[in-house]
Chain A
């Protein structure tokens, strides 16, 4: 969450204080995105046949569809806060689900529970491993993260295709879906709960801990982080590793929802996650990531996608909208920076 100007001046009268709270809420990017989310739900509900968009089942569907998107958006938002990108997320989802799936299939005879647990662990470990590779390439090899993760996108996609020969893995234990993928707890799909819990942890870390401040320092001014004695390389590698682990969790959710891998999918995941983070108010120049905004940004894309289908339009409009809004959001951010006398640094960073 971005720190907002909290004045430490003497307490104002109560009404003034209430207005200040309102102003802070209204000034928060998350507020407006949340408002758009609600508006879209209303509109799609009105337009959908028999208002099916407003049913519990439809909301549960939204929640479970949001789980993976939220995990990827959380990860990429943290990276953007540190001034880095990750466009290998989709490929990483595929690779970790394939490797985790292989492990699960191999262990099938050893019992259902161990197979599922070890499969899940493998997914997360594989995601974290890919993240660590990204981090090491960025820090130790000095490759700009946009290019580094473009490279690992290719590597992970190719590796997943080699392992599977391009055809999806299936035949996982049925309990994978019944006990996790399509399990509903207190009305909420379990994968969505897991994603929300991990998002909550990320939010707490960014808002209240030393690591959170340091992540934002890395993105706000890499040089000041160095001069303050932060171990920049180590911080970045750990951050890439942990955000990779979030991607690994998404990979596990992916196979447990559908009972199969999706090796030809996830090609626009990075667009969706970076788009959601930026639409939610994250700066591409680092140092500022309102995570709540990213949460509602991730929901926005899912609502659009599901809503378009329900009202009988092509879900592909959502991709077009995301692309357009992403460009517009970055353009506005760029202008805001120039007005405050801080030219964008993307070009400079690409050169380094």
Chain B
């Protein structure tokens, strides 16, 4: 049985609580009954070998996929998510490796896309943007996360990969009330940029949001994680606080030694 020592004695309901999630694609059983919780303020590293089911799980948690069976509770309420929009309405957002920013729009426009601030009065009713106010708020949000950009008014296509990832994360933290799921946010980044993103993740959790990160970069993700969940063949084989956990334990769980030892 997976243990969840880190979550005992909490009063707040979990941001995300999944029970017995099952998802199959044809004859591939991608998820075979997954239980997990994500609480506000923690960074959960979701680990596992290629094909273990990490991405499928993330997509089930944010409404991209509908699980074949199992229950999902967000903030203590049972829900059925039919789209990412649904998940966002419950305060859950996703940051993908492939970003999903609009490259031709400015940083500002990307951060506020779908949440634009309008001017007051008649102009606002005509849909006129309050760019000044938006810039101030974006600058403040970026600063709070320690993100340094030349300007929020340049197109995203002119940013580096790390800067784009930072913008995507800033965007997610600005509009998310509960939890952020990240699927390999640093896969395309160099060392320095990965460090920046890692710091961002810590800063995001410190603001009380629950963060779940998928990554194959074990050393780095274990440095920032407060809890580690390992998936293997669509099942949770390890769920434990990160403190005191060795990389060896995690790898053993990923490749299946742990199962053999503990039965």
Q: Which A residues lie at the B interface, using CB under 8 A?
A: 2-3, 5-9, 205, 208-211, 213-214, 216-217, 219-221, 223-230, 283, 286-288, 340, 342
Kindly state the separation between the CA atoms of A226 and B62 in the bound complex, as whole angstroms.
14
A228 touches B113 (CB 8 A): yes
Count of B interface residues, CB-CB < 8 Å = 32
Q: At the interface, yes or no: B127 with Cβ under 8 Å from chain A?
A: yes
Q: A224-B101, A227-B84 are in contact. List 8 more A-B contacts (CB 8 A).
A: A209-B129, A210-B116, A210-B127, A216-B102, A221-B103, A224-B110, A228-B115, A340-B157
A23–chain B nearest beta-carbon distance, Å: 15
A232–chain B nearest beta-carbon distance, Å: 11
Q: Which residues of B contact A214 (CB under 8 A)?
A: 113
Given contacts A227-B84, A230-B113, A287-B104, contact A211 B127 (CB under 8 A): yes
Given contacts A216-B102, A221-B101, contact A8 B153 (CB under 8 A): yes
| Chain A CB within 10 A, most for which of B102, B114, B118, B157 | B102
Q: Is the interface of B mostly helix, strand, loop or mixed?
A: loop
Q: Select B118's contact among A210, A221, A229, A230, beta carbons within 8 Å.
A: A210
A225 touches B104 (CB 8 A): no
Give 4 nearest A-B pairs by CB, closest first.
A287-B104, A228-B114, A220-B102, A209-B127
Interchain residue pairs with CB less than 8 A apart (26): A2-B104, A5-B154, A5-B158, A7-B150, A7-B151, A7-B153, A7-B154, A8-B153, A9-B151, A208-B129, A210-B128, A210-B129, A213-B105, A213-B113, A217-B102, A219-B104, A220-B102, A220-B104, A221-B102, A224-B100, A224-B113, A227-B100, A230-B113, A230-B114, A283-B104, A287-B102
B104 touches A8 (CB 8 A): no
**A-facing mask of B102-128, CB < 8 A → 1, else 0?**
111110011001111010000000111
Q: Which residues of A contact B99 (CB under 8 A)?
A: 224
Q: At the interface, yes or no: B82 with Cβ under 8 Å from chain A?
A: no
Q: Which residues of B contact A228 (CB under 8 A)?
A: 113-115
A351–chain B nearest beta-carbon distance, Å: 18
Q: Which residues of A contact B115 (CB under 8 A)?
A: 228
State which residues 114-161 of B face A: CB under 8 Å: 114-116, 118, 126-129, 135, 150-155, 157-158
State which residues 154-201 of B face A: CB under 8 Å: 154-155, 157-158
Q: Which residues of B contact A224 (CB under 8 A)?
A: 99-102, 110, 113
Kindly state the separation between the CA atoms of A230 and B113 in the bound complex, as whole angstroms.
8
Q: At the interface, yes or no: B85 with Cβ under 8 Å from chain A?
A: yes
A238–chain B nearest beta-carbon distance, Å: 12
Kindly state the separation between the CA atoms of A210 and B116 in the bound complex, as whole angstroms.
7
B127 touches A3 (CB 8 A): no
Q: Select B85's contact among A205, A229, A286, beta carbons within 8 Å.
A: A229
Q: Which residues of B contact A2 (CB under 8 A)?
A: 104
Q: Which residues of A contact B109 (CB under 8 A)?
A: 3, 213, 216-217
Q: Select B105's contact among A5, A6, A216, A223, beta carbons within 8 Å.
A: A216
Q: Select A208's contact among B84, B128, B157, beta carbons within 8 Å.
A: B128
Kindly state the separation between the CA atoms of A288 and B157 in the bound complex, as whole angstroms.
12
A13–chain B nearest beta-carbon distance, Å: 19
A344–chain B nearest beta-carbon distance, Å: 13
